[in-house]
Amino acid sequence: MESQTFTKDERLSSRKLIEQVAKEGKSFLVHPFKVIVLETTIESNHPAQVMMSAAKKRFPRAVDRNRIKRLMREAYRKNKHTLYTALTEQNKKLAIMLIYVGAGLPEYKLAEDKIILILQRLSKYETPAQ
RNA sequence: CCGACAAACUGUUCUAUCGUUCUUUUUUGUAUAAUGCAGAGAGGGAAGGAAAGUCCGGGCAACACAGGGCACCAUACUCUUCGAAAGCGGAGGUAUUAAGUUGAAAGACUUGAUAACAGAAAGUGCCGCAGAAAAUAACCACCAUACAGCAAUGUGUGGAACGGGUGAAAAUGUGAGGUAAGAGCUCACAAUGUUCAGCAGUAAUGCCGAAUAUGGGAAAACCUUAUGGGUUGUAAGACCAAAUAAACCCCGAUUUUGAAGCUGCCCGCUUCAAUGUUCUGCAAAGAACUAUCGGGAAGGGUAGGUUGCAUAGAUAAAUGAUAGGGCUAGACAGAACCCGGCUUAUAGGUUUGUUAUUUUA
Greater confidence (A15 vs A108) lies with A108
A130 pLDDT more than 60: no
A41 has a pLDDT exceeding 70: no
Tens digit of pLDDT for each residue in A114-124? 777 777 777 76
CATH of residue A101's domain is 3.30.230.10
Q: Is residue A128 part of a domain?
A: no
Q: How far does the CA of A66 sit from the C1' of B6, in Å?
A: 39
Mean pLDDT, chain A, integer: 70
Is a pLDDT exceeding 50 seen at residue A2?
Answer: no
Quickly list H helices, chain A: 15-24, 62-90, 108-123
Provide the pairing of β-strand A33-39 with A94-100: antiparallel
Do residues A6 and A73 make contact, with C-beta atoms less than 8 angstroms apart?
yes
Residue A2 belongs to some domain of the structure: no
Q: Which nucleotides of B are covered by protein (CB under 7 A)?
A: 18-22, 38-40, 47, 303-304, 315-322, 333-335
Measure, in angstroms, how far nucleotide B103 C1' is from residue A71 CA.
75
Instruction: Say if A129 falls within a structural domain.
Output: no
CA of A6 to C1' of B149 (A): 121
